[in-house]
Amino acid sequence: MPIAKSERLMNLALCLMNTKRPLSKRELRDSIEAYREAADSASEDSFNRMFERDKDDLRELGLVIDVDESTLDGELGYLARRDRNRLPEISLDAEEAAALSLAAGVWRQARLAGAASGALHKLRAAGVLVDQGAEPQTGALEPRIPAREAAFEPLLGAARDRRPVTFAYRKSGAALPEPRSVEPWALECWHGHWYLAGWDRDRKDVRVFRLSRIIGRVKARSDAFGAEVPDHVDVRQHVARFAGEGATATARIRLRRGAAFPLRTKALQSEPVDADWDELEIPYGHGLASDLGEFGADVVVIGPAELRADVIASLSAVAGRTASTTASTTATKGASAL
């Protein structure tokens, strides 16, 4: 890192940690010599980009920076409270250190590779026992947590910094995405997919979102959370509830013989109907319709009636999108031929 930048980051961190009130961008520019020089020699836009990069760099290094809208001049204010940026003394035994090293090895396969590696370096620098001898030897089988969704990093940062976000979300079976305004609480990987749990401002309730269904960019907002954040957020419990696991109701469906094995593993009861079909009783909860729709013509819903209607609506939406795409492609080819 160039000396000028490291000095600038240090001065910014000291300003943010040693102020008793939030400081505006203008006040920080006037207080830090490197910013004053940048403002004299470059445009306001260049200074703003430099400031935003510096904030992101400090957050990447672990500094928690709060954003406040209540400054006297009406600008956003920035503050790094000491109580949120001070860790107690850390002491790990060999087993705990090995667990941390294994977790870091898992994250090396995902987008948090830099953060995981940096965390181990910080622990070693502080004298905590996280050395090579504590790291387990990896063999042919190595745990991995993929995080390929573009929404993962902005949502992780927003959940960490307690910043509301907006994004477009396409529910399973829906033809078009819907705008969502969410206060993100936590992310978790479950059954190979990443999920976000948080407070949906429009619906005024807890909601779970599958990251692969988020369309386009995730945009962070500058206002604060309005709903109370629980002390513990069990994302898997929320996902399981929305996926129908633990449901007390049941549904009866027919499955084509030799198909839809994931549904067969959930069956409470199964019996053959004829040479081609089996009839199953499975748990029925929120989200089951979208799961059944994924198997298309291999599944027939016997009951309840509302589940059958939801599956038909989901399949009709998919058929409508397919027909629209086919018509558009045909028209394009026809125009090209002309």
Q: Convert the pLDDT of each residue in 7-26 to its tens digit.
A: 888 888 888 888 888 888 88
Q: Cβ neighbours of residue 102 under 8 Å, at least 6 residues apart?
A: 135, 136, 143
- Model confidence at 135, pLDDT cuts 50, 70, 90, reads very low
Instruction: Give the max Cα distance, the chain.
Output: 83
Q: Is the pLDDT of residue 169 over 60?
A: yes
Q: Is the pLDDT of residue 270 over 80?
A: yes
More confident residue, 210 or 239: 210
Cα→Cα distances 129→61, 102, 174, 214, Å:
21, 14, 51, 40
Q: Which of 26-35, 129-138, 196-205 has the lowest mean pLDDT?
A: 129-138
Q: Is the pLDDT of residue 118 over 70?
A: no
Angle, alpha carbons 85-90-95 (nearest 5°): 135
Q: Is the pLDDT of residue 331 over 60?
A: no
Q: Which of 165-174, 210-219, 243-252 has the lowest mean pLDDT?
A: 243-252
Q: What is the pTM of this model?
A: 0.47
Q: Is the pLDDT of residue 110 over 90?
A: no
Read off the tokens for 10: 């240090």
Angle, alpha carbons 134-135-138 (nearest 5°): 145
Q: Is the pLDDT of residue 335 over 50?
A: no
What pLDDT sits at residue 129? 55
Q: Is the pLDDT of residue 188 over 80?
A: yes
- CB atoms closer than 10 angstroms to residue 44: 9
> With contact defined as beta carbons under 8 Å apart, do 182 and 200 qualify?
yes
More confident residue, 191 or 295: 295
Closest CA to 210 of 250, 238, 244: 238
Mean pLDDT for 196-209 is: 89
Strand pairing partners for 253?
280, 301
Q: Convert the pLDDT of each residue in 45-88 to its tens digit.
A: 788 888 888 988 888 877 888 888 766 666 788 888 887 777 66
Pairing of strands 214-220, 165-169: antiparallel
Mean pLDDT for 127-140 is: 49
Strand pairing partners for 300?
254
Residue whose pair of structure tokens reads 């400054």 in the numeric block:
71
Q: Which of 21-25, 91-95, 186-190, 269-273 has the lowest mean pLDDT?
A: 91-95
Q: Is the pLDDT of residue 104 over 70?
A: no
Strand pairing partners for 182?
165, 200
